[in-house]
Amino acid sequence: MRRAGRVSPLFLVVLVGVAAMIGILMFGQEGPSAAATRFLDALARGDVDTLTKSSFVSGKSDDELRKDWQFTTQVAGKYYRFRWQITSARVVDDNTADVRIQVDRNYGPGSYEENYGLPLAKVNGAWKVDAGGISREMYPGLPRPGKA
């Protein structure tokens, strides 16, 4: 027989678990893997706005970076196709991380996987890709650091 006012301990555990998950989803910060995924997806689609928001290059303003990304995606890499896959992500310290990726450059029947790294840094509390630190072999016309 049940008494009024009693709550099952299992119900309480489930309720606390659901509340914790909601808190993590709503207040959790984006990790380096998610930032790298957003960046690589934007690079594959040629999305200049997202590339500008999700990357930085030392010595360049956002306007200069936007022009560089327009050149990269609309001139140098206009017909360049690639396939990518994140293999690992490592947070080096509170402000830097490294995401390892495999890329099939010039994707097609003769392409093969090559390993590259995406350096990330926290800029104003958000993970951004250091576009100046990406290997120039990975994608044609990547932005380079400006004069400081």
pLDDT of 147 > 70? The answer is no
pLDDT of 27 > 80? The answer is no
- Tell me the mean pLDDT in the region 95-112: 92
Quote the CA–CA distance of 20 and 18 in Å, as a whole number.
Answer: 5
pLDDT of residue 8: 76
- State the pTM of this model: 0.77
- Tell me the mean pLDDT in the region 57-71: 94
| Mean confidence (pLDDT) of the chain | 88
18 to 21, 29, 39, 55, 123: CA distances (angstroms):
5, 18, 31, 34, 31
| Fold assignment, 30-133 | Nuclear Transport Factor 2; Chain: A, (3.10.450)
CA–CA–CA angle 52, 56, 57 (5° rounding) = 120
Quote the CA–CA distance of 63 and 51 in Å, as a whole number.
Answer: 12
Provide the residue ranges of all domains of the chain, joining segments of one domain with +.
30-133
